Amino acid sequence: EVQLVESGGGLVQPGGSLRLSCAASGFTFSDYFMDWVRQAPGKGLEWVGRSANKRKSYATEYAASVRGRFTVSRDTSKNSLYLQMNSLKTEDTAIYYCVRGFNSFDSWGQGTLVTVSA
Amino acid sequence: DIQMTQSPSSLSASVGDRVTITCRASQGISRALAWFQQKPGKAPKSLIYDASSLQSGVPSKFSGGGSGTEFTLTISSLQPEDFATYYCQQYDNYPYTFGQGTKLEIK
Contact B49 A64 (CB under 8 A): no
Position B60 confidence tier, pLDDT thresholds 50, 70, 90 = very high
Each residue of B15-49: pLDDT tens digit?
999 999 999 999 999 999 999 999 999 999 999 99
- pLDDT value of position A103: 79
Q: Tell me which residue in A35, A103, A109 faces B43 most closely, judged by beta carbons.
A: A109
Contact A105 B36 (CB under 8 A): yes
3-state secondary structure of A56: helix
Closest chain A residue to B101 measured between Cα atoms?
A44
- pLDDT value of position A104: 86
**Alpha-carbon gap, residue A6 to A50, rounded angstroms:** 15
- Across B61-65, average pLDDT: 98
Inter-residue contact A101 to A33 (CB < 8 Å): yes
Give phi and psi for B81, each to the nearest 5.
-75, -10
Burial class (CB in 10 A: 0-12, 13-18, 19+), B67: middle
Each residue of A54-92: pLDDT tens digit?
999 999 999 999 999 999 999 999 999 999 999 999 999
Position A102 confidence tier, pLDDT thresholds 50, 70, 90 = confident
Inter-residue contact A9 to A114 (CB < 8 Å): yes
**Closest approach of B91 to chain A, Cα-based (Å):** 7
- Across B62-82, average pLDDT: 97
Chain B residues within 8 A of A45 when measuring between CB atoms: 36, 38, 44, 87, 89, 98, 101
3-state secondary structure of B80: helix
Going from the C-alpha of A109 to that of each of A49, B18, B107, the distances in angstroms are 15, 30, 31
Count the neighbouring beta carbons within 10 Å of the beta carbon of residue A96. Answer: 23
Average pLDDT, chain A: 97
- pLDDT value of position B86: 98
Judged against a pLDDT cut of 90, whether residue A112 lies above it is answered with yes
- Across B63-69, average pLDDT: 98
Average pLDDT, chain B: 97
**Alpha-carbon gap, residue A94 to A65, rounded angstroms:** 14
Contact B45 A108 (CB under 8 A): yes
Q: Which range has the worst mean pLDDT, A3-12, A36-45, A100-109?
A: A100-109
Closest chain A residue to B41 measured between Cα atoms?
A110
- pLDDT value of position B99: 98
The verdict on whether omega for the bond into residue B95 sits within 30 degrees of 0, i.e. cis, is yes
Q: Tell me which residue in B34, B50, B56 faces A105 most closely, judged by beta carbons.
A: B34
Closest CA to B69 of B16, B12, B31: B31
